[in-house]
Amino acid sequence: MRILIVAATEAEMSPLVAELDGTRRSPLDGARAFQASGRSSNDIDILTTGVGMVATAARTARALAQTRYDLALNFGVCGSFDRALAPGSVVHVVTDGLPELGAEDDEAFLTLEDLKLLAGGNQSPFHDGRLTNEAPPPNEVLSRLPAVHGITVNTVHGNDASIAAILRRCDPQVETMEGAAFMYACLIHQRRFAQVRAVSNAVETRNRGAWKMAEAIYNLGRTALEILDHV
């Protein structure tokens, strides 16, 4: 099986990379090629896109156009609005949205649906205004992860008023800066995919002292390897 792994930064993939065997040259420009050493014969390309939805959308779409991958996996960290999702926990993002995509009308926010630019919220690849993974890969490890709803933003939330507003409008559980872009690319290319995230922090007024980035990245790497073991 040919597998594409997409991550925003090399740091997020470092624990996984340490367990893989680089034995071939990737056909994908800018990616590193590995095999799951001692575990399977899957060919794995790891693509580091850079931070943000623009870089992720462009590089993921190019990768999927260049090579016929059987599976695409997005691994990274996220912030959590849901206090039941403690820092360090790993989740499977099954729906994602772009809540900044729209227009301001004084103090009101107009979505693409409000603006008549997304008919009924169901213009492909959207469903009810969101991106949905309706057919995630059958994977024992993936199925055990909490399935959550995410949002993807250019500016992560760190203000009480804006956090309250986004919760009222979208009711998200997690947020990232890349997830929806990855999902969009996979949906338009009709590739089976999964977005897996480890919670690095609660979404709140910025408080780096409460973050658990190292623990999140460690748990992300361990979960990623377990998912690959069961592909």
DSSP string, 152-204: E-SS----HHHHHHHHHHH--SEEESSHHHHHHHHHHHT--EEEEEEEEEESS
Say what the pLDDT of residue 153 is. Answer: 97
* Sequence-separated (6 or more) residues with CB below 8 Å from residue 103: 109, 110, 115
- CB-based burial, 119-141: b 16+ in 10 Å, e otherwise: eeeeeebbeebbbbbeeebebeb
Handedness of CA 150, 31, 185, 99 (dihedral sign): positive
Under DSSP, the state recorded for 224 is H
Partners of 44 in beta bridges: 3, 34
Cis ω before 99 (30° cut-off from 0)? no
Partners of 195 in beta bridges: 74, 93
Q: What's the total number of domains in the chain?
A: 1
d(CA 163, CA 22): 42
Least confident of 116-125, 169-178, 184-193, 218-227: 116-125
* Sequence-separated (6 or more) residues with CB below 8 Å from residue 83: 202
Q: Any idea what the CATH number is for the domain that residue 19 is in?
A: 3.40.50.1580
Each residue's pLDDT tens digit, 83-135? 999 999 999 999 999 999 889 888 888 888 888 887 766 788 988 889 999 99
Containing domain of residue 177, as a range? 2-229
* Sequence-separated (6 or more) residues with CB below 8 Å from residue 117: none
Kindly tell me if the per-residue pLDDT of 224 is higher than 80: yes
